[in-house]
Amino acid sequence: MAVVITRIERVEASVVSGFEGIGVATVHEAQDRKGLMAPHLRPIFRPTHVAGSAVTCEVAPGDNWMIHVAVEQCQEGDVLVVVPTSPCVDGYFGDLLAESLRARGVRGLVIEAGVRDVASLTEARFPVWSKAICAQGTVKETLANVNVPVVCGGTVVNPGDLVVADDDGVVVVPRAAAVRVLEKSRAREASEADKRRRFAAGELGLDIYGMRESLAAKGLRYVDRLEDI
């Protein structure tokens, strides 16, 4: 019933490293506003930023057995993505598992459930995006799958997909699209740098984006006072 897929294709390391420092909002825009996880997935400390290839792990509610199985499938540069098979906020993950992931070069954890030992995780700067912080422990009784496609935060994650996460949330880039999205993200950053200068200099978005005509065309009216309408 439960399987571990041992051979997954990952995003090339040079592509992953290209995403360092590129924000989730930028990546999300660069792939046409797709792939964003729901905003209840929050980092346990800020600021933070990671990019890596997804290793996916299903877990039963209240049961973290499969995380131990998933750790063995992780490599340098991976991000572990854990989803319970039904909603659960238990603390599936703590500092021992973080040591284990770190020893393998894993960049961070995204978990649609709870984590614990957050003081230690924060001190050690091991990045985690979770739905909750909760000291409630888990059992080790029930099997589930590792490295099958999962839905996390309302978004499909296939094993080997690129995961980028920062203070704004978590976005998933399909492996095949990673190079193209990286290029578009960089283009976007360049364009934003220019816009940032213009905004900082006091230019208005109305003018930078040339919105005044379309606003008027849709019927926007300017009046001195509410009574003037």
**Residue list 104-163, contact with its own copies (CB under 8 A):** 104, 114, 116-119, 122-123, 132-137, 139-143, 148-149, 151, 154-156
Burial class (CB in 10 A: 0-12, 13-18, 19+), 67: buried
What's the token pair of residue 116? 């614990």
Q: How far is the CB of 133 from its own copies (least distance, A)?
A: 6
Q: How far is the CB of 145 from its own copies (least distance, A)?
A: 9
β-pairing verdict for 49-59 and 42-43: unpaired
Nearer to its own copies, 14 or 226 (CB): 226
Task: State which of residues 31, 53, 90, 126 lies at the interface with its own copies (CB under 8 A).
Answer: 90
Contact 150, 157 (CB under 8 A): yes
Q: How far is the CB of 177 from its own copies (least distance, A)?
A: 14
Task: State which of residues 50, 97, 162, 178 lies at the interface with its own copies (CB under 8 A).
Answer: 97
Nearest in space to 57 (alpha carbons), one of 118, 8, 122: 8
Nearer to its own copies, 100 or 179 (CB): 100
Nearer to its own copies, 68 or 125 (CB): 68
| CA–CA dist 130, 109 (Å, integer) | 8
Enumerate residues 158-197 that contact its own copies by CB under 8 A. Answer: 166-169, 171, 192, 195-196
Residue type, 65: W
Enumerate residues 45-84 that contact its own copies by CB under 8 A. Answer: 46-47, 49, 60-63, 65, 67-69, 71-72
Nearer to its own copies, 14 or 76 (CB): 76
Other C-beta atoms lying within 10 Å of the C-beta of residue 35: 23
Contact map string, positions 2 to 41, toward its own copies, x by CB under 8 A? xxxxxx---------------xxx--xx--xx--x-xx--
Does the bond joining 43 to the residue before it have cis omega, within 30 degrees of 0?
Answer: no
| CA–CA dist 9, 14 (Å, integer) | 14
Residue carrying structure tokens 């090339």: 12
Q: How far is the CB of 174 from its own copies (least distance, A)?
A: 12
